[in-house]
């Protein structure tokens, strides 16, 4: 049986691998929009009714990147509705955009299975 610490270590390894795959050394889109460091915020909004899963993994992506705070507004296993705000993400805009694809991939996959 895998203990909680081992599970977190394995999750972090998986997240780091996904970030390495998703994040190229030069993000042309982000660099064209953000020429200087900028603070900002984003909201995670549910696109359809379902069961949310993977919010802690979503938040952990940003913890590993650093410079971003995530406020979770729903709980794993909760039934959610289209248009519901699930999280607020605040901090360095480059980090927010860098982690977006990885964080959403985990969340969508896990929520799809949960639903």
Domain CATH for 89: 3.90.1170.20
Domain carrying residue 16 = 4-114
- Going by DSSP bridges, is the β-strand pair 85-92/79-80 parallel, antiparallel, or unpaired? unpaired
Structural domains of the chain, count: 1
Query: pLDDT digits over 9-18, tens only?
Result: 888 899 999 9
Top pLDDT among 70 and 31 is at: 70
- Mean pLDDT, residues 56-82 taken together: 96
Helix (H) or strand (E) holding 104: helix 93-114
- 109 — phi, psi (to 5°)? -65, -50
């Amino acid at each position: 049986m895998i203990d909680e610490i081992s599970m977190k270590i394995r999750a972090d390894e998986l997240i780091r691998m996904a970030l390495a795959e998703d994040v190229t050394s030069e993000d042309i889109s982000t660099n064209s929009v953000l020429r200087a460091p900028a603070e900002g915020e984003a909201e995670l909004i549910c696109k359809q009714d379902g069961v949310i899963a993977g919010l802690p993994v979503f938040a952990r992506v940003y913890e590993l990147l650093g410079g971003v705070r995530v406020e979770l507004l729903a709980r794993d296993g909760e039934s959610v509705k289209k248009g519901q705000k699930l999280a607020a993400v605040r901090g360095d805009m480059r980090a927010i955009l860098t982690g977006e694809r990885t964080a959403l991939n985990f969340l969508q996959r896990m929520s799809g299975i949960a639903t």
